[in-house]
Structure 1
Amino acid sequence: MLKARSLPKALQGLRLPAVAAPLFIVSCPKLVIAQCKAGIVGSFPALNARDEPGGPVVLEAWLKEITEALDRHNQENPDRPAAPFAVNQIVHRSNERLERDVEICTRWKVPVWITSMGARVEVNEAAHSCGGIALHDVINNTYAKKAVEKGADGLIAVAAGAGGHGGPQSPFALVREIREWFDGPLLLGGAISTGEALLAARVLGADLGYVGSPFVATEEANADRTYKDMMVAGGAEDVLTSSLFTGHPANYLKGSIRKVGLDPDHLPDEWDVSVMPDDSPKPKAWREIWGAGQGIGAIKSVGPAAAVVERLETEYRAAIERLRADIC
């Protein structure tokens, strides 16, 4: 079996070398708790915790729910403790909640911080101040170097085939370029939907895989049943890359595009009301136009998140044995 590099404590002792990617809208406390109990790092975007006007701070409530549930699990299962959880922060200047959310996550001592859309020194320092680690997602080697310069502990290489705003580069090229200078924690995302893909990520030089799409089709996910069923029925050919919906290239389910009355094979270069059904408003990315990675062909049914982890482990162990037999 591949020998792991020396990793931060939060990434050690996992059932599998895997982190569940934070899925916009889809990831919620119920899913995160299930992922962590199953033995991999569960995560959610802080912006998924949406406040109602005049209501309580939902992020605070979510962190309380997750922390207390995992504490109870660990007390009841000392020989099978849960994995730690992660919170994803969009650190772009447009995120008006960032300062407040960082303060809340610091106070709750979030163990793993995932940052996106621009590395920020002060966010990494906040993670470190409460004993956490900061992982920054990148799509190329230039961004990777900037993230480490600004204090990120580890990197998430988001390669071609990833759901949502995936990068355009092959994982073979991206991981190799980063590993030429960086020996810290490195995760790889992009169609990591099977145990074989997870092992391949490690062979390339990543320490862990970043698994997203398979967790959409789970009982715990905050996703429309039609979305889940499309993930089960789909394959790589059912995933389309387009910049139409957010202004940045992202991978979406063709079926969700058809569902709002558009033809995924003949999308305009920019919005034109003449191609919109009944002159309706622009459909919303993620809420109506659903993200998916190219690895969805591995998703065969909707079930509990624990079953996804169990499948990944079975495939991962079997792949190791096949590789060992072939090499030896």
Structure 2
Amino acid sequence: MPRDDTHLPHALRGLRIPLIASPLFIISVPKLVIAQCKAGIVGSFPALNAREGAGEHPLLDTWLTEIREELDRHNQANPDSPAAPFAVNQIVHRSNERLERDLEICTRHKVPIWITSLGARVEVNEAAHSCGGIVMHDVINNKFARKAIEKGADGLVAVAAGAGGHAGQQSPFALMREIREWFNGPVALSGAIATGESLLAARAAGADFGYTGSPFIATDEANADPAYKDMIVESGADDIVYSSLFTGVWGNYLKGSVKNAGMDPDNLPTADVSSMNFGADREKPKAWKTIWGSGQGIGAVKSVGPAKDIVDRIAREYAAAGAKLAAEFS
């Protein structure tokens, strides 16, 4: 039976599999986003990844033009298998002094899906809606989920334990249960969604989509150090450490990268949220430049290759896992 997605906003319908690629800091660039969309899932990138030099034309404008034009060419050449839409992540934290400018650029380009992080603001949601876009706000608990919807977000990204980068501590099953008690809109679930089986589990728990990032670090299109890609391939869940030290917000990181920076991953100090800064003037220890984020699901990543291969693998596993369970209930 085909998946019924008619209850979802139009921008989220018709995906090859119900999967959204999460925006990866530094790593997600147009080449990766385009590959993800062509493979049939929502590709995304953080607006702050597009950083131009002083006096140069906004790189975000250039990137959005490149993505839109390439996906349009693909769709014209492949009318029976069009690309999925793309998303742009906006960091809404007060230290992001670029936010207003980036909102204007995204509005002008009619970005179809906006993913907002670190704060829910009415004016950001209004900007997205003004150009026909929808907003998915990421949250780590039910309290923040309610606030996001009250301020006008259309959907949620439930960031549970095990997710890469900034992650929550709650079980995905507990978080989804609490959200679904009151919210019927689109929800993507994040937290070690790296296989077709985990994607099926996310759907069974009540999510409309899985939300995955870490497997895409180990791809040809990712803007990541080759050593970072190799460490993803060589690591598993035991190689992840949860810490607030590096950004002021709790997140998951590769222990190997922490050790390489001269620190003990089992004895890291904590940092207060007040140290969080996404401004251009932020300064961090040079050693932290090679602290690499990752979720707990990377044991499923066995090699570096094209992003399409990640999507193909998850699609195969998702279909097989679904068929196996369907037989049990037939």
Bin of the TM-score, shorter chain as denominator length: over 0.9
Contact 1:245 1:284 in 2 (8 A): no
Q: Distance in 1 between matches of 2:270 and 2:8?
A: 44
Q: Distance in 1 between matches of 2:131 and 2:50?
A: 21
Q: Distance in 1 between matches of 2:298 and 2:328?
A: 28
1:23-34 map, 5 Å? 23-34=24-35
- CA offsets per residue over residues 151-177 of structure 1, 9 Å max, x none? 100000000000011011100110000
Match of 1:293 among 292, 295, 318: 295
Amino acid at match of 1:310: D
1:96-175 map, 5 Å? 96-175=97-176
The runs of at least 4 consecutive aligned structure 1 residues that moved more than 2 Å come to 1-5, 265-271, 281-285
Contact 1:86 1:112 in 2 (8 A): yes
- CA offsets per residue over residues 42-93 of structure 1, 9 Å max, x none? 0000000001112221000000000000000001101110000000001111
Q: Distance in 2 between matches of 1:63 and 1:215?
A: 20
Corresponding residue for residue 86 of structure 1: 87
Aligned residues: 318
Shift of 1:282: 2.5
Change (3 A) 1:254 1:150: same
Q: Distance in 2 between matches of 1:270 and 1:135?
A: 27
1:229-308 map, 5 Å? 229-269=230-270, 282-283=285-286, 285=288, 287-308=289-310
TM norm structure 1:
0.94
Amino acid at match of 2:297: G
Amino acid at match of 2:136: L
Shift of 1:5: 6.1
Contact 1:5 1:207 in 2 (8 A): no
TM norm structure 2:
0.94
Gaps of 5+ in 1: 272-280
Corresponding residue for residue 281 of structure 2: none
- CA offsets per residue over residues 279-312 of structure 1, 9 Å max, x none? xx72465x41000000000001000000000000
Shift of 1:38: 0.4
Contact 2:243 2:250 in 1 (8 A): yes
Q: Distance in 1 between matches of 2:220 and 2:301?
A: 13
Change (3 A) 1:85 1:270: closer
Identity fraction in percent? 69
Amino acid at match of 1:216: I
Corresponding residue for residue 185 of structure 1: 186
RMSD across aligned positions (CA): 1.4
Contact 2:248 2:271 in 1 (8 A): no
Instruction: Determine helix, strand or coil for the equivalent of 2:20.
Output: strand
Q: Distance in 1 between matches of 2:252 and 2:230?
A: 17
Q: Distance in 1 between matches of 2:82 and 2:287?
A: 39
The answer to which of 253-262 and 157-166 deviates more is 253-262
Contact 1:260 1:283 in 2 (8 A): no
Q: Distance in 2 between matches of 1:131 and 1:233?
A: 42
